[in-house]
Amino acid sequence: MSEPISTPTNASFSDIGEVLARHQTFVIMSHVRPDGDAIGSQLALGFALMAAGKTVRMINEDGLPENLAFMAGSEKIEFPPSEPLEVEVAIALDTATKPRLGEAALHAASRAQVWLNIDHHISNPKYGDLNLIDSTSPATGQIIYQLLTALALPFPAETRDAIYVAVSTDTGSFQYPSTTALTYDMAADLIRRGLDVGGINTMIYDNYPFRRVELMRALLNTLETSADGLVASWELRDQVRIDLALLPEDSEGLIDIIRAIRGVLLAVFFEELVDGKIRVSMRSKDRRLDVCQIALEFGGGGHSLAAGIRMAGPLKEAKALVLAAIQQRIVANGL
């Protein structure tokens, strides 16, 4: 058992490697309402550690989303057990703030002595004992790739495929400006390691349930644009979620449809959640409009071009507040 090491700055790959080498039992977590990067990073690191002989549990507050159940090894993702796990190390992946791991997951990890925090959100306050936060990385999965290759850890097929899913989904299929030369080098390396690129893309992008297209239709009916045409928004009400029997992941990525409108600099998606809170998802096309800064005003976070908030409802009021904050930024930046 080693003492937690407190570092306000980033740990090196070898610092992280030492913690991985010195311990035997791990719980790996990611944020609530997990996306491809969250689950992909968990599976990538989890399967590498298991191949290195470690005992690993992979938990998520909301379990495994249906749209990611095709991923090899994804059955290893569990809901948090009700009793704390007897593990030495807790690893948070792709999670901008500790509460975003979820209460049940935090309880399950409460006996861990060392916390690792590996992420690419610029707003991450470095809540781990060791932190590896690289906001220049387009996905946490790409940081995991760098870590595993730097440390020469095992690289099983599940890890290889999971890294591809993580990075592809967080870069909008290798399109967003966050995509780097390393991202493409890495993708080439994954293919050389045996990745079936056509097969995996079909599973990610050509395999949506019909209700997702019905959701698209419902959302389009609520589309609004600001008078200057710079902001496009749409909303998802409770009733639509009920009528279409939607799962949380069904809306993943749909915001890109309105982000893609010519002249639109900022796209916003408002959603009524089951608990009455409002989820706000924002995407910017212009570096001068930093959506992370806007999200931080409401206790949210993320990246400069993609950020989110969970805030009090009702939807109408949340919408008015967020759209006003956006307008203020547009005016302040002379856009």
Beta strands, E only, the chain: 25-30, 55-59, 77-78, 89-93, 114-119, 130-133, 224-225, 231-236, 266-272, 278-284, 301-302, 306-311
- Name the closest residue to ligand AMP (Cβ): 308
Closest approach, Cβ 308 to ligand AMP, in A, equals 2
Judged by CB under 6 A, the residue of 246, 251, 302, 322 near ligand AMP is 302
By beta-carbon proximity to ligand AMP, the closer residue of 36 and 73 is: 36
* Binding residue (CB under 6 A) for ligand AMP from 39, 77, 96, 133: 96
From the number of C-beta atoms within 10 Å of its C-beta (0-12, 13-18, 19+), residue 152 rates as: exposed
Residue 262: strand, helix, or coil: coil
Q: Residue 306, interface with ligand AMP (CB under 6 A)? A: yes
Q: How far is the CB of 198 from ligand AMP (least distance, A)?
A: 26
Size of the site for ligand AMP (CB under 6 A): 15
Q: Crossing angle of helices 36-51/157-170, nearest 10°?
A: 160
Task: Kindly state whether residue 241 participates in binding ligand AMP, applying the rule CB under 6 A.
Answer: no
CA–CA separation, 228 and 335 (whole Å): 10
Rounded to an integer, what distance in angstroms lies between the CA atom of residue 142 and that of residue 163? 7
Residue 115 C-beta: closest distance to ligand AMP, Å: 18
Chain positions 184 to 203 lying near ligand AMP, rule: CB under 6 A, are none
Cβ neighbours of 34 (radius 10 Å): 27
Q: Which of 128, 138, 248, 301 binds ligand AMP (CB under 6 A)?
A: 301
> CA nearest 55: which of 24, 83, 79?
24
Nearer to Mn ion, 37 or 61 (CB): 37
Q: Look-up: residue for tokens 């200057």?
A: 228
Q: Which is nearer to ligand AMP, 44 or 292 (CB)?
A: 292
Distance CA 55, CA 50 (A): 6
Give min distance, CB of 90 to ligand AMP, in A: 19
What is the Cα 189 distance to its own chain's centre? 23
- Select from 12-20, 199-207, 232-240, 296-304 the region that touches ligand AMP (CB under 6 A): 296-304
What is the per-residue binding string for ligand AMP in 45-64, x denoting contact by CB under 6 A? --------------------
Beta strand ranges found along 164-236 (DSSP E)? 224-225, 231-236
- Residue 241 interaction partner, one of ligand AMP, Mn ion, none, beta carbon < 5-8 Å per kind: none
Buried b (16+ CB within 10 A) or exposed e, 41-64: bbbbbbbbbbeeebebbbbbbbeb
Q: Where in 144-163 is the site for ligand AMP (CB under 6 A)?
A: none
Applying CB under 6 A, does 310 fall inside the site for ligand AMP? yes
Which parts of this chain interact with Mn ion (CB under 5 A)?
A: 35, 37-38, 94, 140, 170
Cβ proximity to ligand AMP: between 45 and 49 the closer is 45
Q: Are 44 and 148 in contact (CB under 8 A)?
A: yes
| Residue 300 engages ligand AMP in binding (rule: CB under 6 A) | yes
Query: What residue ranges bind ligand AMP (CB under 6 A)?
Result: 31, 96-97, 100, 121, 281, 300-303, 306-310
